[in-house]
Chains A and B, each alone.
Chain A
Amino acid sequence: MAQVNQIKIAQPKLSIKIRRLLFDNSVPLLFIVICLAGVYFSKLPLVFILNTLLSRITRNSFLVLALVIPVIAGLGLNFGIVIGAMAGQFAIIIVTHYKIAGFPGFLMCLLLATPIAILFGIITAMLLNRTKGQEMITSMIAGFFANGVYQFILLFLVGTLIPIKNPDLVLSRGIGIRNTIDLATETGLKYALDNVFKYPLFNVLVAISIALLIGLCMDYYLKRKKGYEGIDNFKFITQIIIMAFVLGVSLYIIMTGSILRTVKLPILTSLFIAALWSFNELVMKTKLGQDFRTVGHDMEIAKISGINIERTRIIAMVISTVFAAWGQIIFLQNIGTLSTYGSHVQIATFSIAAILLGGASVTKATSGQAILGIILFHTLFIVSPKAGNNLFGDAQIGEFFRAFISYGVIGVALGLHAWNKRIQAMRKRLEIV
């Protein structure tokens, strides 16, 4: 019976489907329009936008993807990725101190950051387990608190309790880590991952889109042949059109020899991101992933079905914190300077705003939304000062606008979520009565 229902739901009319698609994705669609308008009014050269955007996407994706699992596990948007970022920065300071350069240094960073991040993740998760229902505000305040402890350790314990005597790292008085640490030195980490292997973006896009086109067609053909009933023609055609479009544009750019051809993609970084993306997808197919989903959906049901709620939530937080630490390392190896007391402060706000722009909510998030969100958020970031300048004669206004967007979109999303939760609770109560 259930199967029959499912098939019926899966095949409504095309017009309804399009309408639903537009409605479900109203937030990303709105911001696509805003971004396109911004790109138009900024009058920035396309190659500049694309280059900046590409480096911003590759450096930020990992952090945003780290947000997905806590959302599924019902912990909401994890403002605590700041704490993971701190773990990453601890590791970077250690590696810079021992002057391990390049790619081995980068791997060493990941290795060192992992145990620290696991510890931080467990502590945060234990805190969140004591404040069920208020996880997001708790993780946010926990981030602020951890920032205080972080500063205390790096400013006052280094040089007094922790014996580091490295003039490149420690302030001239011998106590405390410097405000900025240059990673672009010969023994530094700058581009340790990005520069391992770079390849022109559009050639890669051609290869990927061809591969995907073939894959999609084969998949469709096989399903047809087997007489599989749940074939989604609409989805298939949309995917084909998108892929063909990407292929066409890329080929056009390569053929015409436009300057866009020079845009290069750091392959290894992209592979890292792809690996995390597939991890997020694959883990949902395991028993653990199902537990995440059940706990996130309804803790009562999870309890009845014998899932250890506290443990599941701790695992979700640990995963997120570790990925945040790795993400911060990837982020900083691209930036090239570690601002010891500032690099991590805003990443939660920016990452969360990005995933929300991509169409995620407090209870639903996918890796695809995360990536789409990053593209939109950072396009906005790149073009808004210039667009503000051209439209209002003041670059400041554009900058303030994007600050407002990042806070505002989080505020609206949280408000809508809380409202929804309340309405559902009221409905439940009415049903019981």
Chain B
Amino acid sequence: MIELIKKYINNIGLPRLIITLLFIGICVTAIIIGLPVGLLASDVIRRFGMFGVLALAMVPAIQCGTGPNFALPIGIICGLLGSLMTIEFGLTSPVLGYGFISAVLISLPFAIISGWLYGILLNKIKGSEMLVATYTGFSIVSFLQIGWVTLPFTHPEMRWPIGKGLRVTVSLESTFGGVLNRLWGINVGGVYIPTGLLLFFIGCCWLVWLFSRSKSGIEMITAGANPKFAAAAGINVDKNRIIGTILSTIIGAIGIIVYSLSFGFLQLYLAPLYMAFPAVAAVLIGGASTSKVKISHVIIGTFLFQGLLTVALPVANQMFPEGNLSEVLRMIVQNGIILYALTKMGGES
């Protein structure tokens, strides 16, 4: 009997089980203390769609063998650049999704080039990807702080009215803010379902899944899972790692555009600094490890992690009106799960 339970727990994964129980517990508390269920459910669904694509960016990175992409800020910066240029050049006609499509298109070349360069870097430092990735991300974000002040953007909506440089947050209200959320959005019994946002996320997942089934996708996964075997089979491991990194950077760029669009603001300066960590934590909670990942992990993990945070916020505020308990919970859960994954990674390879 105990063996059976152990096997079952192993199947689900201990962290996934704990987080699920925590999530259910907090949901029950929310209902007991009488929080508006409809609003909460809408929020959970919105946050799920908003954050999903960023978490999806981890998939190609883990598949190609470089581990969770802690350098997600590189992709994020590309996405932000795309969005800013869209506003600057006024490419916000309804045909272009009020700027959404143009932002994605503009950020693509940036993401491809920087992903390629970063992929070359990652090939030089095999074995220490995660640490170097983290600090590459930090360096790029802090370097771009100088960029946000000096880059020649002129649109009055983005610049400080007086003084130099871009605002810390740029409102997307007059451009593509909430476009996907409103697209085919419906209300079901008090729960708002942002159909467009969800469809976009599911579509992205489907594309990544499709790629992993294609010839080049299978090649990439083989190169990541067993580099020696792949090399013996005539697969160029380094090239496939670069492909995975480029894909991850592109998805990261799209991810931040979707995130900002749903959030309503572009966040510049230090905001992207720690954005990789919740995305990494989400896929790990979903059941991924530092070397294995499935699309289902992204969907389950994002739902559990973002759902937990969304519901925990009002519940925590009811219990402790001051002090940010849900933020503390986020720190503990997010970093605890990453630590757990690191200890599961095993010793030096």
Report which A residues bind B (CB closer than 8 A).
127, 130-134, 136-138, 140-142, 144-145, 147-149, 151-152, 155-156, 171, 173, 175-176, 392, 394, 396-397, 400-401, 403-404, 406-408, 410-411, 414-415, 417-419, 421-422, 425
Report the Cα distance A404→B136, complex, angstroms.
11
Which of B1-9, B102-110, B328-336 lies on the face that meets chain A?
A: B328-336
List residues of chain B with CB within 8 A of the CB of A130: 343
The number of inter-chain residue pairs (CB within 8 angstroms) is 140
Contact of B323 among A176, A411, A422 (CB under 8 A): A176
Q: Is the CB of A141 within 8 A of B323?
A: no
List residues of chain B with CB within 8 A of the CB of A403: 142, 145
List residues of chain A with CB within 8 A of the CB of B165: 394, 396
List residues of chain B with CB within 8 A of the CB of A425: 127
List residues of chain A with CB within 8 A of the CB of B335: 141-142, 144-145, 148
Which of B16-24, B118-126, B183-191, B301-309 lies on the face that meets chain A?
A: B118-126
Report the Cα distance A147→B336, complex, angstroms.
11
Contact of B164 with A by CB under 8 A:
yes
Given A173-B322, A404-B143, A404-B146: 15 more A-B contacts, CB < 8 Å: A132-B348, A133-B348, A134-B345, A137-B342, A138-B342, A144-B335, A145-B336, A148-B329, A155-B324, A155-B328, A396-B164, A400-B142, A400-B145, A411-B136, A418-B131
Q: Taking CB as reference atom, which chain B residue is nearest A143?
A: B335
Q: Is the CB of A133 within 8 A of B132?
A: no
Contact of B128 with A by CB under 8 A:
yes
Instruction: State the 3 A-B residue pairs at the shortest beta-carbon distance, nearest first.
Output: A148-B331, A133-B348, A418-B125
Report the Cα distance A150→B164, complex, angstroms.
38
List residues of chain A with CB within 8 A of the CB of B348: 132-133
List residues of chain A with CB within 8 A of the CB of B125: 415, 418-419, 422
Classify chain B: how many residues form its interface, as a range: 35 or more
Q: How far apart are B143's CB and chain A's nearest CB, in angstroms?
A: 5
Contact of B349 with A by CB under 8 A:
yes
Contact of B345 among A131, A400, A410, A415 (CB under 8 A): A131
Q: Is the CB of B128 within 8 A of A414?
A: yes
- Interface of B: prevailing SS: helix
Report which B residues bind A (CB closer than 8 A).
121, 124-128, 130-132, 134-136, 138-139, 141-143, 145-146, 149-150, 164-165, 277, 320-325, 328-332, 334-336, 338-339, 342-343, 345, 347-349
B124, B131, B150, B165: which has the most chain A beta carbons within 10 Å? B131
Report the Cα distance A24→B149, complex, angstroms.
36
Q: Taking CB as reference atom, which chain A residue is nearest B273?
A: A407
List residues of chain A with CB within 8 A of the CB of B126: 418, 422
Q: Taking CB as reference atom, which chain A residue is nearest B274?
A: A144
Q: How far apart are B275's CB and chain A's nearest CB, in angstroms?
A: 14
Q: Is the CB of A127 within 8 A of B332?
A: no
Could you show 15 A-B contacts with beta carbons less than 8 Å apart?
A: A127-B339, A144-B277, A145-B331, A149-B332, A152-B332, A173-B322, A397-B150, A404-B142, A404-B146, A414-B132, A415-B125, A415-B132, A417-B128, A418-B126, A418-B128
Q: Is the CB of A414 within 8 A of B164?
A: no
Q: Is the CB of B143 within 8 A of A408?
A: yes
List residues of chain A with CB within 8 A of the CB of B328: 148, 151-152, 155-156
Report the Cα distance A404→B334, complex, angstroms.
26
Contact of B149 among A149, A394, A408, A418 (CB under 8 A): A394
Q: How far apart are A152's CB and chain B's nearest CB, in angstroms?
A: 5
Q: How far apart are A310's CB and chain B's nearest CB, in angstroms?
A: 12
Q: How far apart are B307's CB and chain A's nearest CB, in angstroms?
A: 19
List residues of chain B with CB within 8 A of the CB of A418: 124-128, 131-132
List residues of chain A with CB within 8 A of the CB of B334: 144
Q: Is the CB of A408 within 8 A of B323?
A: no
Q: Taking CB as reference atom, which chain B residue is nearest A393?
A: B164
List residues of chain B with CB within 8 A of the CB of A132: 347-348
Report the Cα distance A400→B336, complex, angstroms.
31
Q: Is the CB of A145 within 8 A of B322?
A: no
Report the Cα distance A408→B135, complex, angstroms.
7
Q: Taking CB as reference atom, which chain A residue is nearest B130?
A: A137
List residues of chain A with CB within 8 A of the CB of B322: 171, 173, 175-176
Q: Taking CB as reference atom, which chain B residue is nearest A176?
A: B323
Q: How far apart are B134's CB and chain A's nearest CB, in angstroms?
A: 7
B125, B126, B321: which has the most chain A beta carbons within 10 Å? B125
Report the Cα distance A422→B129, complex, angstroms.
12
Q: Is the CB of A144 within 8 A of B342?
A: no
Q: Is the CB of A133 within 8 A of B146?
A: no
Report the Cα distance A144→B274, complex, angstroms.
11
Q: Taking CB as reference atom, which chain B residue is nearest A172?
A: B322
Q: Is the CB of A155 within 8 A of B325?
A: yes
Report the Cα distance A71→B25, complex, angstroms.
44
Report the Cα distance A155→B326, complex, angstroms.
12
Contact of A411 among B138, B336, B339, B349 (CB under 8 A): B138
Q: How far apart are B57's CB and chain A's nearest CB, in angstroms?
A: 19
Q: Is the CB of B134 within 8 A of A137?
A: yes
Q: Taking CB as reference atom, which chain A residue is nearest B323?
A: A155
Contact of A414 among B131, B277, B339, B345 (CB under 8 A): B131
With A131-B343, A394-B149 already in contact, the answer to whether A175 and B323 are too (CB < 8 A) is yes
List residues of chain A with CB within 8 A of the CB of B330: 148
Q: Is the CB of B135 within 8 A of A419?
A: no
Report the Cα distance A399→B345, complex, angstroms.
38
List residues of chain B with CB within 8 A of the CB of A175: 320, 322-323
Report the Cα distance A142→B342, complex, angstroms.
10
Q: Taking CB as reference atom, which chain A residue is nearest B333?
A: A148
Q: How far apart are B217's CB and chain A's nearest CB, in angstroms?
A: 27
Q: Is the CB of B127 within 8 A of A414?
A: no
List residues of chain A with CB within 8 A of the CB of B336: 145, 148
Q: How far apart are A333's CB and chain B's nearest CB, in angstroms?
A: 27
Report the Cα distance A127→B335, complex, angstroms.
14
Report the Cα distance A396→B330, complex, angstroms.
31
List residues of chain A with CB within 8 A of the CB of B332: 145, 148-149, 152
Q: Is the CB of B138 within 8 A of A407?
A: yes
List residues of chain A with CB within 8 A of the CB of B127: 133, 418, 421-422, 425
